[in-house]
Amino acid sequence: MMKERIIYRLFLTLTLMFTPVLTYSQLSKVGTSAAEFLRIPVGARAASISAYAANTNDGASMILNPAGLTSVPKSEVIIEITPWYLDMTHSFFGASMLTEKGVVGVHVLSLNYGEFEETTAEAQGLTGRTFNAYSVSFGLSYARQLLPQFSIGGTAKVIHEQIAKSSASALAFDIGTIYQTPFDNINFGVSVTNFGSKLQMNGNDLIISSDPDESQTGNYEPDALLATQSFDLPLMLKVGLNWDAIELKNARLALSIDGNNPTNNTQSISIGGELVLANEQVMIRAGLPYIGQKDKIETFTTGIGFRYSSISGVGLGFNYSYNGYKYLGDINKLSLQIYF
């Protein structure tokens, strides 16, 4: 009983710690943070449901809500490579392993922006040279069930962004909890992602020749470093509920709702559902992301999933999501999971 009280107080403290964020005024705030690649949906299952704070159950939990790692049935490897807009590529690799004292995981998340042709004012256009740009995150996760009804997890990650010879790096943390309430198969989840230091670009590309005093003659032109501003990471607070509304012998319907409070946009809600058939082997999903958000570009999501387990115990999971977007076109995501 005493342990349950401690867990309850810890859970309440984590929730109240981030509740003041909800008092932010409803300004758009779009474009006020760096590392925007961290906002791209990870995991085709979560991307197709849209609301996942209380029902993550695969390796993508390391990014979404680390507490969800305790719901992964076995050790797992998840791979996802998504063609993004133009020639950009969004990729995610995660591996989690069950231990006697919890679940540990590692991940690599990246967005490769492709190759660009260099232009300069001095050349009055193209120089004939090219450069690359990318964003990447490396993370280590740990999650544990403190009680049969209560899980907590965290991720520590290094974020790096590179464009030509200039770059920025930051250290960030994700933390999450999932609580199985005693009310009619309802889970309650809270996650805070991308809490960390700021990103500020620096590098040789920012070094220029300067003339400290143009009123004087001479050819003294020392190097100068262009000043850059530091930007916050896209901090996100999610509070969600997941309800197993219908449970039959070979079918289950789960409904989810998330309250979203980002620091780079307005508050919103996301809703979604997952129909599980054929003894947890076939899944049909759909969702509506960021309802009520200003400057919203997401429209709707849907997807399917399949899971197969062999006699030897090795299992395969395949998930597909269709994500609707305004303006630039829709995105198709594929995730492959290997359980062992």
- The domain spanning residue 200 has which CATH number? 2.40.160.40
pLDDT at 30: 73
Residue 3 has pLDDT above 60, yes or no: no
In this predicted model, what pLDDT tens digit does every residue of 113-140 receive, in sequence order? 999 888 877 777 788 889 999 999 999 9
Residue 213 has pLDDT above 70, yes or no: no
pLDDT at 11: 52
Write out the E strands in the chain: 76-83, 89-99, 102-120, 125-147, 150-163, 166-180, 186-196, 202-203, 207-209, 223-225, 236-247, 251-262, 268-277, 282-291, 298-309, 315-325, 331-339
pLDDT at 21: 43
Residue 94 has pLDDT above 70, yes or no: yes
Spell out the SS3 assignment of 156-212.
EEEEEEEECCEEEEEEEEEEEEEEECCCCCEEEEEEEEEEECCECCEEHHHEEECCC
Domain limits for position 297: 2-339
| CA nearest to 80, candidates 104, 50, 47 | 47
Tally of domains in the chain: 1
- For residue 309, what pLDDT band results from cuts at 50, 70 and 90? confident
pLDDT at 20: 45
pLDDT at 154: 96
Written as one letter, the residue type at 158 is: V
- DSSP SS3 for 29: coil
Residue 311 has pLDDT above 50, yes or no: yes
pLDDT at 100: 87
| Choice among 158-162, 183-187, 332-336 with the minimum mean pLDDT | 183-187
Residue 231 has pLDDT above 50, yes or no: yes
